[in-house]
């Protein structure tokens, strides 16, 4: 045997946890999340596929509360341990995102009462159970606890806590005589004072918005506790004798479900503000006793609502049409689960089915390929065990007073035979199905499946037999019981070998399985051990910690059909996979929160099934040592179902009646068709005549409009020619005028250039003299400053020798004097190159320096006065230089005055150009008026043309003459295109002329700008020369003018004309749509007339049938020859009427055929 351990992964979980609050949530429009056992299940309501999240705790205790973060794929759940925590996981990837631990001061035994995410998903709220009754808030961004407060005592249990919607969420905590509202401020929970609260026993609450809180009390009323004063919000409601236990909001109001099993829809009252009126109420249960609701879940689209009931059933309600409608249960969102523990499960070979029975007195048959519930059979007495026949068509069910053999029909279980075994808790078919064994207290009775006869009774156990298993070839049975014994029974002999049995004392064995060859038998019992027995002796054991009521007791054992995998189910809900031979190598998975009562494996060893006291059916996928999974093939399973002869006869009778009805319908259809054809022919002829008249009328109107259009086209062409000729003449005159002006400007520019050269030579000479004087003055000043610096240094040295006490002060002054002298030298050098203002500033700085020096050194002050005298001499020289500069500035002003005169002349010319543009715009407006008149005429003609085109399209197959109208329309469209092309040519010519004007304007603007830049470089000889040469080359030698952008007025006019053309096109399309709608109405009228003709034809056929039947009666009644002669007259009259009717029918059929042949295809 292999030593590898096979692993298990949870594939499906069928069950619902009533202890979880809430136990159903909508996550998106397709997924429902619910708690089942120790798992969180995400169920796709369309494909019925499931994603299952199984916690990884070693000692699982179930889920006590779940919550969903809106807008995020995050689901949080709290466990039910003594030291609870919260796990947050991704609903799509099934990976845990975070685990929030709690300290010992939380003190909650049994988990959480309620969990809630804030609207933005940044905070998570949880409330613990007794004895702590603590409210705790976590920050999901920092993964830390924000604050925790105690909300209640032992006498006042809390039932619910939630976050309010909105940006500033509030926290509501309600329960028995508890109503508290908190706000989260600065990391602390601050309680909000509620004035005069009407508390009572609050069953549940709901935040309608950020500030409105509704509370449902035990008296069946709903109160707004945040309003002042507090008052009931329900105006009227039925069945208010039971309180509301759960509520959910939707767009128009809220939904509430009561303990009595009624779902009520409340909408906002239109008469009384703040009040809600009952709009609809639906009973959630059938004919059984009232069942309390548990949770309401509304999908995000608010089209469906799911309500979970206390009996583990989920009812779906439709909200899409504004009314609440209980959906039919042929295909519910989630199938109904067991309500209570499940005792037994069994599978078969030929069908993908598994049967379960439980404490709710039901037997359910599940399809594990389609993930659906196929049969649910409810009994009036307790059900203890179930066993499927290998072919899947029969089933053993152990009831309270007898053992029953049932047939598995399409949607029901029907009893074949009863066996006198009361309270049978173990019954199993043999491997081949020809026998079955049933436990009757300490006896095992073996029956034949075909003859129902008792074949053998096995008496070995002294007390109750707990479990048994069939061996190879269906000749061996092994059983265990409460007497601590394991016996092997062989069918070929009345007694078994004693060396194969195994007995102990003080131990009760409850589970047994064996290898396929029956060489090794595995048993488990209250000693918390799994024992492998061979030939009556224990060869291997697997031990677990033993204690009173130990959770490690293995309650179910199962061996794979190939003998390579071994599984066990424990009392604490864990399923364990062992390697063979059994040792400490194993893998565990826990999907149950209670004791596992039974396990089964599929025939191909691909799936493992387990059921337990938590009411959950878990289906596991088995992975081999290489993590491979065996895939099921649907082709292996049979589609056969049981039925009865009465049902087959009933189906055959229904089929015969359906065929007869089909024949009658075919006859009626043919008659109506014939009547419709005849009536349609008449309508076609009338329609043809009407269309011909309308066509002739439209043809005459079209010819008249065509003549009018030709006249307008001729007038427009003559007007266009005249306008184009005038425009060309004006453009030619303007071109001559502009060329003359350009030549004048060239001559003036040459004169200005010569004057500029003369001014430039004079300026250069003056500047050379000034530079020589500046250099000489600068050299003298430098010499004086050097000598003064030397004298200052000598004076400082003598001052240091005389005054040693002031040595530090003198050294600092020396540094300051040296720095000031250096800056003074630099300032004097720079002031010679700058203007008068800079020299004055430098002189003021020197005076300030001299004053500061005179305060410190008297001897140095005299020398500085001499220096100021020399500065006065320099000042006089500067005054002379300024006078020369003023003379030069006056000359510059004269030149600028001349330039301004030239600019004024240019502006006058530009005003003339603007006047010419205005004249052009007036001409363009006149042209636009003409085009508008042309378009108006075109608009008057287009409705008639479009209607003609539509009529021609309808009767194109009826009359070939309308093709000429289509050709005329195409010619008109071509003429319109030609006109548009001509208009485009006119626009292009206008654009070219505008470009010429704008280029001339840009030419003068550029010339003025460049000339201004040349004047700015008047004192720089080299730059002035280069810029003047560039100016000459640009405007004199190169006689090319750059194109400037198109005039804005022309562009605006072009855009306006484009908009008008688009508007006209839109109007034409609208007219076409109106005509098409008119055509549809005309066709509807034709269909109505056809129907009336069909009814008339039907009446004629009925009359024809009556005449035929009267003729048959007359023929039967004819006896002797005289009576036949007397009745000849009525027969001939009937024949005559029949012939007339046949002629009428033939005429109608001919008319309908002509209509269908000549009717155009739409």
Confidence band of 364 (pLDDT split at 50, 70, 90): very high
DSSP class per residue in 593-662:
SS-EEEEEE-TTS-EEEEEETTS-EEEEEEE-TT--BPPP-GGGS----B--HHHHHHHHHHHHHHHHHH
Range in 441-455, 456-470, 753-767 with the lowest mean pLDDT:
753-767
Confidence band of 352 (pLDDT split at 50, 70, 90): very high
What integer pLDDT is reported at residue 787 of this predicted model?
73
Omega into 581 within 30° of 0, i.e. cis? yes
Q: How far apart are CA 42 and CA 35, in angstroms?
A: 9
Tokens describing residue 1151:
């008319």
Give me the count of residues in the chain: 1162
Coil/strand/helix, residue 844? helix
Q: How far apart are CA 430 and CA 759, in angstroms?
A: 131
712: phi then psi, degrees, rounded to nearest 5: -65, -35
What integer pLDDT is reported at residue 430 of this predicted model?
94
Q: Which letter, b or e, does each residue of 213-224 get, where b requires 16 or more Cβ atoms within 10 Å of its Cβ? A: bbbbbeebbbbb
Range in 140-144, 753-757, 1093-1097 with the lowest mean pLDDT:
1093-1097
Q: Which residue has the higher pLDDT, 253 or 154?
A: 253
Q: How far apart are CA 581 and CA 901, in angstroms?
A: 118
Q: Are the C-beta atoms of residues 1151 and 684 closer than 8 Å to each other?
A: yes
What integer pLDDT is reported at residue 543 of this predicted model?
82
What integer pLDDT is reported at residue 750 of this predicted model?
78
For tokens 């006198």, the residue is 420
Q: Which are the contacts of 351, defined by CB distance < 8 A and separation ≥ 6?
A: 391, 392, 637, 638
Confidence band of 1040 (pLDDT split at 50, 70, 90): very low
Q: Which residue has the higher pLDDT, 573 or 783?
A: 573
pLDDT, tens digit, 9 for 90 and up, residues 249-298: 988 889 999 988 889 999 888 888 888 888 888 888 776 677 889 999 99
Confidence band of 619 (pLDDT split at 50, 70, 90): very high
**Which residues are 66's β-sheet partners?**
77
Coil/strand/helix, residue 889? helix
Q: Are the C-beta atoms of residues 430 and 437 closer than 8 Å to each other?
A: yes
Rg, Å, the chain Cα set: 55
H or E element in which residue 1121 lies? helix 1121-1126
188-192/476-481 β-pairing: unpaired
Least Cα distance to 247 among 275, 219, 217, 269 occurs for 217
Q: Are the C-beta atoms of residues 386 and 363 closer than 8 Å to each other?
A: yes
pLDDT, tens digit, 9 for 90 and up, residues 479-503: 999 999 999 998 766 555 677 889 9
Coil/strand/helix, residue 269? coil
What integer pLDDT is reported at residue 378 of this predicted model?
92
- Could you tell me the sign of the dihedral formed by the alpha carbons of 104, 106, 107, 111, in that order? negative
Q: How far apart are CA 152 and CA 173, in angstroms?
A: 10
Q: How far apart are CA 563 and CA 959, in angstroms?
A: 87
Q: How far apart are CA 410 and CA 316, in angstroms?
A: 25
Cβ count within 10 A of residue 1101 = 16
Confidence band of 185 (pLDDT split at 50, 70, 90): confident
Region for residue 28 given its phi and psi (left: phi exceeds 0; alpha: psi -120 to 50; beta: otherwise): left
Tokens describing residue 569:
């189910």
């Amino acid at each position: 045997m292999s030593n590898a351990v096979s692993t298990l992964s949870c594939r499906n979980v069928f069950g619902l946890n009533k202890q979880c609050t809430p136990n159903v949530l909508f996550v998106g429009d397709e997924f429902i999340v619910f708690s089942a056992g120790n798992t969180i299940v995400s169920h796709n309501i369309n494909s019925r596929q499931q994603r299952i999240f199984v916690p990884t705790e070693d000692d699982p205790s179930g889920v006590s509360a779940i919550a969903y973060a809106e807008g995020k794929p995050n689901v949080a759940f709290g466990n039910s341990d003594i030291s609870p925590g919260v796990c947050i996981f991704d609903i799509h990837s099934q990976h845990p995102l975070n685990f929030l631990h709690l300290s010992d001061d939380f003190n909650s035994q049994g988990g959480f009462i309620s969990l809630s995410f804030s609207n933005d998903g940044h905070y998570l709220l949880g409330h613990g159970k007794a004895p702590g009754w603590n409210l705790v808030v976590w920050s999901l961004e920092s993964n830390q606890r924000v604050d925790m407060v105690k909300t209640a005592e032992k006498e006042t249990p809390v039932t619910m806590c939630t976050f309010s919607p909105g940006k500033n969420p509030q926290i509501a905590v309600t329960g028995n005589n508890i109503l508290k509202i908190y706000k989260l401020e600065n990391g602390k929970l601050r309680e909000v004072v509620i004035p005069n609260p009407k508390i009572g026993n609050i069953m549940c609450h709901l935040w309608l918005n950020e500030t409105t809180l509704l509370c449902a009390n035990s008296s069946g009323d709903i109160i707004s506790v945040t309003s002042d004063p507090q008052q009931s919000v329900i105006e009227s409601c039925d069945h208010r004798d039971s309180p509301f236990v759960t509520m959910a909001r939707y767009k128009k109001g809220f939904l509430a479900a009561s303990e009595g099993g009624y779902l009520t829809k409340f909408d906002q009252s239109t008469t009384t503000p703040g009040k809600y009126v009952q709009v609809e109420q639906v009973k959630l249960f059938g004919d059984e006793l009232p069942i309390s609701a548990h949770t309401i879940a509304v999908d995000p689209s608010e089209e469906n609502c799911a309500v979970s009931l206390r009996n583990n059933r989920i009812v779906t309600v439709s909200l899409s049409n504004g009314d609440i409608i209980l959906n039919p249960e042929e295909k519910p969102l989630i199938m109904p689960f067991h309500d209570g523990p499940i005792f037994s499960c069994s599978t078969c070979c030929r069908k993908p089915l598994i049967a379960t029975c439980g404490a709710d007195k039901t037997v359910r048959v599940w399809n594990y390929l389609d993930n659906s519930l196929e049969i649910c059979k409810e009994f009036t007495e307790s059900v203890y065990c179930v066993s499927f026949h290998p072919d899947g068509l029969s089933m053993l069910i152990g009831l309270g007073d007898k053992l029953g053999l049932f047939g598995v029909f399409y949607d029901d279980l029907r009893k074949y035979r009863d066996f006198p075994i009361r309270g049978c808790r173990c019954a199993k078919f043999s491997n081949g199905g020809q026998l079955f064994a049933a436990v009757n207290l300490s006896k095992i009775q073996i029956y034949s499946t075909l003859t129902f006869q008792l074949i053998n009774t096995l008496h070995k156990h002294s007390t109750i037999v707990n479990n048994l298993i069939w061996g190879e070839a269906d000749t061996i049975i092994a059983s265990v019981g409460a007497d601590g014994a394991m016996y092997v029974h062989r069918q070929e002999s009345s007694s078994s070998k004693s060396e194969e049995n195994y007995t102990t004392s003080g131990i009760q064995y409850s589970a047994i399985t064996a290898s396929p060859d029956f060489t090794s038998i595995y048993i488990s019992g209250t000693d918390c051990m799994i024992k492998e027995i061979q030939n009556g002796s224990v060869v291997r054991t697997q031990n677990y910690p033993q204690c009173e009521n130990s959770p490690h007791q293995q309650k179910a054992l199962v061996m794979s059909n190939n003998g390579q995998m071994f599984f066990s189910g424990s009392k604490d809900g864990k399923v364990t996979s062992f390697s063979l031979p059994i040792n400490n190598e194993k893998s565990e998975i826990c999907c149950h929160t209670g004791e596992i009562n039974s396990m089964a494996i599929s025939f191909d060893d691909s799936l493992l099934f387990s059921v337990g006291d938590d009411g959950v059916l878990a289906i596991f996928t088995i992975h081999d040592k290489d993590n491979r999974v065996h895939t099921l093939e649907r082709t292996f399973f049979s589609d056969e179902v049981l039925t009865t002869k009465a049902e087959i006869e009933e189906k055959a009778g229904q089929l015969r009646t359906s065929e007869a009805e089909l024949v009658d319908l075919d006859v009626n259809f043919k008659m109506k068709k014939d009547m419709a054809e005849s009536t349609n022919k008449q309508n076609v002829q009338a329609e043809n005549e009407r269309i011909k008249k309308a066509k002739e009328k439209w043809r005459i109107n079209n010819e008249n409009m065509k003549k009018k259009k030709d006249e307008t086209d001729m007038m427009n062409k003559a007007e266009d020619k005249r306008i184009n000729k005038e425009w060309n003449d004006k453009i030619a005159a303007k071109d001559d005028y502009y060329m003359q002006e350009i030549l004048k400007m060239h001559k003036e520019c040459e004169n200005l250039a010569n004057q500029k050269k003369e001014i430039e030579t004079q300026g250069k000479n003056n500047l050379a003299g000034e530079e020589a004087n500046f250099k000489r003055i600068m050299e003298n000043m430098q010499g004086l400053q050097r000598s003064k610096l030397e004298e200052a240094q000598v004076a400082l040295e003598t001052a240091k020798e005389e005054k040693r006490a002031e040595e530090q002060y003198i050294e600092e002054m020396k540094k300051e004097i040296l720095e000031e002298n250096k800056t003074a030298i630099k300032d004097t050098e720079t002031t010679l190159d700058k203007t008068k203002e800079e020299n004055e500033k430098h002189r003021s700085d020197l005076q300030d320096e001299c004053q500061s020096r005179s305060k410190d050194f008297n001897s140095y002050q005299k020398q500085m006065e001499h220096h100021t005298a020399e500065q006065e001499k320099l000042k006089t020289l500067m005054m002379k230089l300024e006078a020369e500069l003023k003379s030069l500035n006056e000359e510059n002003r004269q030149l600028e005055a001349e330039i301004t005169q030239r600019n004024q002349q240019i502006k006058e010319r530009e005003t003339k150009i603007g006047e010419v543009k205005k004249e052009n715009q007036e001409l363009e407006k006149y042209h636009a008026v003409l085009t508008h008149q042309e378009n108006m005429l075109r608009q008057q003609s287009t409705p008639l043309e479009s209607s003609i085109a539509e009529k021609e399209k309808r009767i194109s197959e009826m009359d070939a003459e309308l093709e000429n109208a289509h050709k005329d329309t195409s010619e008109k469209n071509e003429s319109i295109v030609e006109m548009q092309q001509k208009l485009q040519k006119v626009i292009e010519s206008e654009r070219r002329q505008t470009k010429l004007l704008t280029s001339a304007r840009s030419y003068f603007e550029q010339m003025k700008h460049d000339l201004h830049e040349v004047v700015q470089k008047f004192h720089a000889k080299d730059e002035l020369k280069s810029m003047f040469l560039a100016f000459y080359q640009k405007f004199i030698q190169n006689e090319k003018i750059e194109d400037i952008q198109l005039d804005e007025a022309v562009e605006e006019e072009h855009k306006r004309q484009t908009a008008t053309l688009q508007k006209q096109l839109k109007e034409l399309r609208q007219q076409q749509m109106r005509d098409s709608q008119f055509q549809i109405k005309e066709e509807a009228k034709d269909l109505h007339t056809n129907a009336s003709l069909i009814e008339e034809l039907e009446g004629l056929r009925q009359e024809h049938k009556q005449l035929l039947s009267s003729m048959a009666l007359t023929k039967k009644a004819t006896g002797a020859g005289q009576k036949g002669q007397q009745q000849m007259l009525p027969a001939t009259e009937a024949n005559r009427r029949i012939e007339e009717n046949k002629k009428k029918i033939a005429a109608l059929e001919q008319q309908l055929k002509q209509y269908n042949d000549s009717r155009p295809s739409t």
